């Protein structure tokens, strides 16, 4: 007690000798963020981990078929959904790299899904897929006279639609990032390869891909981490239904929270950590360089 | 005038073959929303690609709050705007101070703080939401706008600090040295040298935080519940809960809600592209 008092009340010679005025200011200016970090990251995470300490929560999770299903859905979402998205983004970045006035205009429109909030557009898709009044089934009825399928009532189709909504929303962002990478490749490399008579695949294989692969892989990993937190695409489109078969980990955590099973919610998140933390650590190392 | 060769026509056709599907794919949900917004109620459900009698009546209903679901439209709009602006201002304050301290003053431990912030940036927001909800309850902030504002600052600040730190690392050290030689104090350095030079990045970061907060659904839906407290996206979500939801009004409200962020995005695109996307992933 006496030591803390003397350090704060009377500036002790060693402290003021070590810290110059700019450094004191440096510490003062860091305080706002540190407060936010302590109050809204450290404390909640610590508290959450403490809630998830009982092995019985994990047993309960293990016995909950919805959790297993959500884990599988999350894997499908990440492994299939993200890779399809990134491949399309890679392809489209080549398309948008073409110098044409109309492609410039298209790129302005193309960014719209990223620029508008996700809620109205997801609800718009949800209405399109409505079995009775949705525009898709209306058109199917008009042209074939048959009733269209009940889209969101089939778990596989519903999950695919949620992935589709996710791709719709975030494809422009990743295409733009990959486009930046593509435009950074020196143009004379392509001119030289033209002289050598390379076809488009050889150009991609030996020029584009080698200079973009690090960026591409980083983007894929980053997109996977972020997609784990994509609550909206699933929750607003399917609500986890039918019969809780289309949950992913992020919506499942919120479902447990709404059912007041907070320890289960935290336990389900802790289960994802062995996969998330290595990715997070890798990305942190990359970006802090 | 030179006629295009067959090869050029072929390339153009191939590009169009990609461009047209891309255009349709991008526009479908937005166009669908727009058609609903300008359709009278009886036209909305007939599956037409363009309404027979386009009307702005839906907008008038929303603006005059003439429906049970819309009775708090303006106050919810106001909530969204105030929260977004508060998040933008607070994030700018917290992040600029931290970036200046880490990058220019080279405070001891600054690098560790940067890493902690980046760590937070990569934790999926939906995972943090669960303990955050309980914590806000402990702090007694649930159903209070401050809970959403502080939660969004927590989420926006790490990336903001990172972007600002990247940008301020590029400013030459000689600037600070020269200013200090002329007798500038640290605060004068911050106010008269640092902030003016960082303006483009500050605009980008402020815009980023404002859009993030305006667009947020999950946290808003967890932390706020009273009809007069919630933000627009939560109100849109609540629309769905009812079976007799008036879709055309929901889509109209959604359209109005989507306009400001789209306008802000395009207005600040210059800053966003320079400040954010290029820095988002370093290769």
CA distance B52 to chain A (A): 15
- pLDDT value of residue B282: 45
Span A193-217, pLDDT tens digits: 888 888 888 888 888 899 888 889 8
Closest alpha carbon within chain A to B207 = A115
Q: Which of A27, A106, A122 sits opposite B107 (nearest CB)?
A: A27
For the residues of B193-220, what is the DSSP string, one character each? IIHHHTHHHHHHHHHHHHHHHHH--HHH
State the DSSP code for A148: P
Chain A neighbours among B 54-83 (CB < 8 Å)? none
In this prediction, residues A127-135 reach a mean pLDDT of: 81
Q: Which of A138-152, B163-177, B210-224 ranks highest by mean pLDDT? A: B210-224
A227 contacts: CB under 8 Å, gap ≥ 6 = A77, A78, A81, A82, A166, A170
| Record: contact A115-B262, CB cut-off 8 A | yes
pTM of the predicted protein model: 0.87
- pLDDT value of residue A32: 92
Backbone angles phi, psi at B141, to 5 degrees: -105, -5
Mean pLDDT of all residues belonging to chain B: 85
Q: Which of A20-24, A84-88, B241-245 ranks highest by mean pLDDT? A: A84-88
- pLDDT value of residue B281: 47
Kindly indicate the confidence band of residue A147, based on its pLDDT and cuts at 50, 70 and 90: confident
B260 contacts: CB under 8 Å, gap ≥ 6 = B214
Domain A63-288 homologous superfamily, CATH: MetI-like (1.10.3720.10)
H helical segments located in B5-144: 6-37, 41-44, 57-63, 73-99, 110-122, 125-138
Is the minimum CB–CB distance between B279 and chain A shorter than 8 Å?
Answer: no
Span B15-35, pLDDT tens digits: 899 999 999 999 999 998 888
CA distance A269 to chain B (A): 6
Whether cis (ω within 30° of 0) applies to the bond prior to A242 is yes
Kindly indicate the confidence band of residue B45, based on its pLDDT and cuts at 50, 70 and 90: low
Please identify which residue in the block is written with the tokens 């306009």.
B259
User: Where are the domains positioned within chain A?
Assistant: 22-51, 63-288
pLDDT at A165 over 90: yes
- For residue B118, list chain A residues with Cβ-Cβ distance below 8 A: 283-284, 287-288
State the DSSP code for A82: I
Quote the ipTM score.
Answer: 0.86
Span A247-279, pLDDT tens digits: 888 888 888 888 888 888 888 888 888 888 888
Kindly indicate the confidence band of residue B274, based on its pLDDT and cuts at 50, 70 and 90: low
Burial class (CB in 10 A: 0-12, 13-18, 19+), A234: buried
Pairs across A and B, CB distance < 8 A? 279
- For residue A121, list chain B residues with Cβ-Cβ distance below 8 A: 29-30, 33, 254, 258
How distant, in Å, are the alpha carbons of A134, B64, B164 from that of B57? 22, 11, 45
Task: Report whether B263 contacts A117 (CB < 8 A).
Answer: no
- For residue A47, list chain B residues with Cβ-Cβ distance below 8 A: 131, 134-135, 138
User: Where are the domains positioned within chain B?
Assistant: 74-229+260-280
Task: Report whether A204 contacts A216 (CB < 8 A).
Answer: no
Its CATH class, for the domain covering B74-229+260-280, is mainly alpha
H helical segments located in A10-100: 13-18, 21-37, 43-51, 55-63, 65-76, 83-96
A16 contacts: CB under 8 Å, gap ≥ 6 = none
Q: Which of A47, A123, A232 sits opposite B254 (nearest CB)?
A: A123
- pLDDT value of residue A6: 41
Span B110-147, pLDDT tens digits: 888 988 888 888 888 888 888 899 899 889 888 889 99
CA distance B59 to chain A (A): 15
Distance CA A168, CA B213 (A): 21
Mean pLDDT of all residues belonging to chain A: 84
| Record: contact B22-A92, CB cut-off 8 A | yes
């Amino acid at each position: 007690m006496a030591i803390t008092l003397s350090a704060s009340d009377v500036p002790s010679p060693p402290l003021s000798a070590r810290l110059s005025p700019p450094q004191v200011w440096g510490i003062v200016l860091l305080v706002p963020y540190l407060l936010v970090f302590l109050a809204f990251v450290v404390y909640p995470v610590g508290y959450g981990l403490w809630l998830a300490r009982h092995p019985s929560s994990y047993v309960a999770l293990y016995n909950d078929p919805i959790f297993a299903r959500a884990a599988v859905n999350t894997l499908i979402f990440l492994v299939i959904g993200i890779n399809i998205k990134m491949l399309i983004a890679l392809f489209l970045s080549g398309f948008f790299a073409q110098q044409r006035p109309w492609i410039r205009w298209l790129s302005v429109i193309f960014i719209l899904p990223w620029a508008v909030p996700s809620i109205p557009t997801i609800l718009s898709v949800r209405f399109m897929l409505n079995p009775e009044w949705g525009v898709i089934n209306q058109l199917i009825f008009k042209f074939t006279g048959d009733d269209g399928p009940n889209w969101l009532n089939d778990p596989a189709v519903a999950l695919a639609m949620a992935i589709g909504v996710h791709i719709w929303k975030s494809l422009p962002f990743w295409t733009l990032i990959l486009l930046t990478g593509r435009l950074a490749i020196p143009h004379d490399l392509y001119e030289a390869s033209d002289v050598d008579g390379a076809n488009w695949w050889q150009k991609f294989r030996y020029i584009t891909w080698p200079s973009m692969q690090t960026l591409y892989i980083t983007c894929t990993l980053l997109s996977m981490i972020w997609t784990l937190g994509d609550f909206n695409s699933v929750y607003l489109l399917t609500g986890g239904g039918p019969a809780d078969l289309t949950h992913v980990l992020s919506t499942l955590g919120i479902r447990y929270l709404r059912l007041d099973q907070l320890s289960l919610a935290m336990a389900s998140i802790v289960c994802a950590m062995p996969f998330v933390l290595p990715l997070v650590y890798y990305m942190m190392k990359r970006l802090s360089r | 005038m030179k006629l295009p060769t067959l090869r050029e026509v072929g390339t153009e056709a191939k590009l169009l073959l990609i461009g047209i599907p891309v255009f349709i794919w991008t526009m479908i949900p937005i166009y669908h929303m727009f058609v609903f917004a300008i359709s009278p109620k009886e036209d909305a459900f007939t599956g037409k690609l363009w309404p027979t009698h386009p009307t702005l009546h839906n907008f008038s209903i929303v603006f005059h709050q003439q429906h049970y679901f819309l009775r708090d439209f303006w106050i919810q709009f106001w909530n969204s705007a105030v929260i977004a602006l508060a998040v933008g201002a607070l994030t700018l304050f917290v992040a600029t101070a931290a970036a200046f301290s880490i990058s220019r003053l080279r405070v001891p431990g600054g690098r560790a703080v940067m890493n902690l912030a980046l760590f937070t940036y990569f934790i999926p927001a939906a995972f943090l939401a669960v303990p955050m909800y309980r914590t806000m309850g402990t702090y007694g902030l649930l159903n209070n706008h401050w809970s959403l504002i502080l939660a969004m600052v927590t989420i926006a600040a790490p990336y903001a600090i990172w972007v600002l730190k990247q940008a301020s690392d590029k400013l030459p050290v000689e600037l600070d040295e020269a200013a200090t030689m002329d007798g500038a104090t640290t605060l004068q350095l911050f106010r008269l040298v640092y902030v003016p030079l960082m303006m483009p990045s500050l605009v980008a970061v402020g815009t980023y935080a404002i859009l993030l907060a305006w667009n947020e659904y999950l946290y808003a839906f967890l932390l706020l519940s009273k009809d007069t407290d919630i933000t627009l996206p939560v109100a849109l979500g609540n629309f769905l809960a009812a079976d007799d939801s008036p879709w055309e009004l929901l889509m109209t409200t959604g359209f109005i809600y989507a306009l400001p962020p789209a306008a802000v995005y395009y207005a600040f695109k210059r800053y966003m592209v320079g400040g954010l996307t290029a820095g988002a992933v370093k290769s």
